Structure formats: C-alpha cells, structure tokens
Amino acid sequence: MSKLNVDQKAIIDLLSDKKADFLIPDYQRPYAWNEEQCQTLWDDIFLFSFPDNNYEAFDDNEEYFLGSIVTYKNESGKSEVIDGQQRLTTLMLILRAFYDKFENMKDKNSILTRDRIEKCIWKTDTFGTADKNTLKIDSEVATDNDKDEFLELLRTGIVKQGSKSQYVLNYQFFQKKIDEFLQEFPSFFPYLPARILSNCILLPIEAESQDTALRIFSTLNDRGLPLSDADIFKAQFYKYYGSSGNKDEFIAEWKKLEEITSSVFNPISGTPMDELFARYMYFLRAKEGNKSSTTEALRKFYERNKYQYLKRPNTIEELKSLALFWESVSDQDKTRFSEGALKKLFVLNYAPNGMWQHITSVYFLQHKTNDGILSDAEFCKFLDRITAFIFAYAITNPGVNALRTPVYDEMVNLVSGGEVKFSKYKFNNKQARTSFENYVFTNQRNATRSMITWYAYTFSEQTLLGLNEVFHLEHIYPKKRQEMEGGLKVEGNIDSLGNKILLESAINIKASDYRFDDKKRIYSGEQRRGNYKEPSKVAEIADLIAYNEFGEQQIIERNRKILDRFFDFLHAEELIA
C-alpha cells in the first residue's frame, strides 16, 4: 500500500520549514493564472481576513483552506510539485509583493512580518539568516520561457523592463491591490499578510513516488487542468535530450507539435498531444506484432521498459511527421494529396468510428518516403478498402470493440509488408445484405451519416467539399409531413437511406418541412430564402430535382440503388466471400 504524509499546515509552517525545497518539474505546464484567478484569490483572502471590512471582526482561531499541494521527493531530495503549481507560485508572488512593500516600514509588526515572509521565500542558514541567492522554489518547466524571470523576480523584486510575462503581470496586480489596501487601512496593514501566513491553510500531500502522486492528482477535484499523459512523456524526452545537450532543440520541436495538434485534433478525452501519442502507439504495437484487442492505457504503454520508445533518436521525428500528415489531411492540402485521395478522406472523416484514423496512421508511418510522401495510387487503394470494410462492419457487427480484432490484425499485416485485405473477415453477401435492409438508419446513428456521405461521392460530378463546412442529413420526404399526412404506407421508409441526402445546413434549415416542389427550388437556389442564395454543392441534387414527385416508391427505389451500389463496392474491394 502506498505511503502518504498528509498534515494540513499554515502557509508560514509549510514554507518557513528549513526542509522546504519545492521544484516545479519540467513536465508541468507553464504558469497560467491570469488576473481573474488572482482577483478571486485576493478577494477570498481579504474577505476572510477582514470580514465586512472590519479588522476586529476577525477570529484568530478561524482558518481558510486554500487547497492541496501534492508532491513527492525526487532523487535529489526536492519536493516535485504534481498538483498545486499555480496556487503555490501565486502565493509566492503575493508574499514577494508584501515583502517589498514592508522594506521602508520600521514599526515592530511590519519588521516581524517581513522577517517571517523572508523565511518563506529564501532558504536560511543555521542562525536563521536568509540566503538571498537561494530560493525555496525552483522551476524547470520545459516549455515556460518566463520561468527564469519568475525566479529572478522572487530573488530581487526587480521587474524586467517591458516584460509581459504572466508572472510579472500578476505580481504587479498584487502590488496594486496591496497599495489600495495600505491606503484604506494604514494602521492595520501588517495584519493582512500576518493572517495570510498564519491562518490560510494548505494541505500538503507527500507521496512516496511520482506515480502515486499522479494518481492522487487525477483523483482530486482541482481547479486547474490535470497533467496529461503527454506532459509526463515530455519530461522523459526532456531528460533524454538534456543528457545530449539538445534541450533547446527539443523544446522548439515540442512547441511546434503542440501548435499542430491543437489545430488538428479535438479528442473527446485527453489533450491533442495525447491523441498524437495514441495514434503513434498503434504503429508501435503493430511493430511488436501485438494483435490483442485489449489496448493498454497510453501511459502504461509508453512507460514500459523505462520509456524505451521515448528514448529512441527517431521518435520525435516520427511524431512530427505523423502530426504534419494529419495537419495536411485537416487542411485538405492539394499539394500533398490528389483530388481523389482528398475525396476519400472526406468520406472517412464521417466514418462511424475513429478506428480508420489509427490504421491510416500505421499505413502512413509504414509507407511514407523520407519526405513524408505516399504513393497516391496505393494510398487511394488502401482508403477504398478500409472505407468499404469499416462502413460495412459497423452495420453487420455494431460496436467499435468488435472492429478492433480485424483492424489490429491488419495493422500487424501492414508493418510486416503485407497489403490490407481483411481476408479472414470477408462478408457473406446474403447475411450482410439482410443486416443492411433490417438496419434502422436514424439520423442519430453514425452509420447513417457514413453511408450517405459515401453515396454522395459515388457521383462522378461531386466536387470536393470542405471539412469546415457544415452538412446535415436531410429527410427528402419530411418526417413532420409523414406525421401530419400519413403519406408513407410503410412507416420504416421515413428513416431509410433512400429518404436521406447530404445537404448544407443552411439549405436544410430552409427546406426542412416543405413539400417536394418547394424543396427542389430551395435545393437548386431558384427559391431564395434568407441570406442563403447558392444552390447545393451536392451533385446528386441535380438528379433529385428531375423527379416529378418523391414519395414511397421513389424512396424504396433510391434505397435499393444505394445498397446495390455499396455492395458493388464491397465486391470490387474483394470483401464478399
């Protein structure tokens, strides 16, 4: 069982302890508190210390809880701050601002309070004298360009001219608040910092290891953002590149990766950088020959064998190459991909699940040239194959977990030099067709959007649509009209593929419940409503507006046409047994 040292302490007791030696480690995020958070902290402390602006209303036995500080003792004996970095840093800035204000005050209380603050900021010798060159806090945050300015500010109280760092801005904010307080309560000025030191409480939690400290952090309800897996990986990279004297180069590369991933990935959980590491993990798993459908947690995977994958000289380059590839996909980069490839990628962007991104990442890393380029013909062939398989599997074997087994198999096949064929997982034509015909394609199901988007691109006239454009699924025969008029004899037809089409959101909103004759004019741009005056970019619209009417018979015929075309696609991709 993990051992923890937990004992709430007043700020003075925690920081003036001779053994206090805090380190904000390299994998932490840069200091991020702004004026809003500083204002909240100041207001909370002030209202506690001076209830109703009344000095005498304060009860010396009262305590104000500021939160926890989670640390662990590293190999150098320093307390690495896992949780509470923002809070601890801000408290140091407040104390430094008070310390400077006391400099020319000669009354007893001011001198005593300044001396107490001094012991919280600097280390002291045997006789309690502060060593003004040695702080009780240090920062090694790899991506914080202003950390040295913070430490120099704590040491000297001198603000670098023209500085706009968050440390300086917050320090100046507290200087202003202290000046306002001094002007309003000159006689009671020493009491506020004294109450902050003695009556504001922190809960230091010292864990026996980094892993334990991180688990505690993830369990606590903290105001700040929890450390991501990528933050931990950054620390390992930082140490690795630091040992070879390449820290600065690594920091520059890491920042570039963060910029790229932030603009490309929007994961449901974790950070954009976590998502990049996840996609890279599937490539590494495949290289190991791992076909298990049970996927390890990201941190557990990379920490194996003392983070072996993060200590390889080519890892950062491969991560960067992978990030740039997905950036090009997101940007629909026509200098990197053919029109045909971009159309296929657009369709996959609306795949029923995200598994296609993992196997495509594996394909890219396995087949890219040194310049990060893929053979267009082979890439298009691969995209067709995975589209056909993943879209069909979502209907015949619902659930992303079921898809892991065949996809993981093909990932291993890919890195072994094979071609993606899904040979062991071909579909029985009759059974698959029955699954499609019995499937209820409601708009809430991802597979519905997938199939309709795929069908839109089976029309040769279809141009490339933008990934940043918003498209809806349009009921050609409106659901409300069905409810009001009972126009369809077979109720299920209202949600069949035959009654759905991809449509720009603005056009869909205008067309929604109109009769078919009105819809056709709206689709084509002939009937202008609101600010939207353009015809639809969806090529099939040209065929649709040629219909005189669109009712049950047309829905059934179009549904059959969509399924026939998709099963022809499965046959062409050799996925039918």
Q: Give the pLDDT score at 341.
A: 98
DSSP 48: H
Q: Phi first, then psi: give them for residue 139, nearest 5 degrees.
A: -135, 135
Any idea which residue has 């968050």 for tokens? 166
Per-residue pLDDT for 142 more than 80? no
Q: Do residues 357 and 279 touch, judged by C-beta distance below 8 A? A: yes
Alpha helix positions (H), 266-350: 272-287, 298-307, 315-331, 339-348
Percent of the chain with pLDDT over 90: 60
Q: Which two tokens stand for residue 280?
A: 């890279």
Contacts of 198 (CB under 8 A, 6+ apart): 10, 11, 12
Per-residue pLDDT for 209 more than 90? no
pLDDT tens profile 432-491: 999 999 999 999 999 999 999 999 999 999 999 999 999 999 888 887 665 555 555 545
CB atoms within 10 A of CB 399: 10
Burial 435-457 (b: 16+ CB within 10 A, else e): bbeebebeeebebbbbbbbbbbb
pLDDT band at 1 (very low <50, low <70, confident <90, very high): very low
Give helix 229-242 / helix 298-307 axis angle, nearest 10°.
20
Q: Do residues 362 and 323 touch, judged by C-beta distance below 8 A? A: no
pLDDT band at 217 (very low <50, low <70, confident <90, very high): low
Percent of the chain with pLDDT over 70: 92
Q: Give the pLDDT score at 160.
A: 82
Q: Give the pLDDT score at 566.
A: 98
pLDDT tens profile 543-574: 988 888 888 899 999 999 999 999 999 999 99
Contacts of 294 (CB under 8 A, 6+ apart): none
DSSP 495: G
Distance CA 186, CA 197 (A): 19
Per-residue pLDDT for 5 more than 70? no
Q: Do residues 200 and 11 touch, judged by C-beta distance below 8 A? A: yes
Q: Do residues 563 and 395 touch, judged by C-beta distance below 8 A? A: no
Mean pLDDT across the stretch 79-89?
Answer: 91
Q: Give the pLDDT score at 218.
A: 60
pLDDT band at 55 (very low <50, low <70, confident <90, very high): low
Q: Which residues is 2 bridged to in the sheet?
A: none
Question: CA angle at residue 328 from 323 to 332, to 5 degrees?
Answer: 150
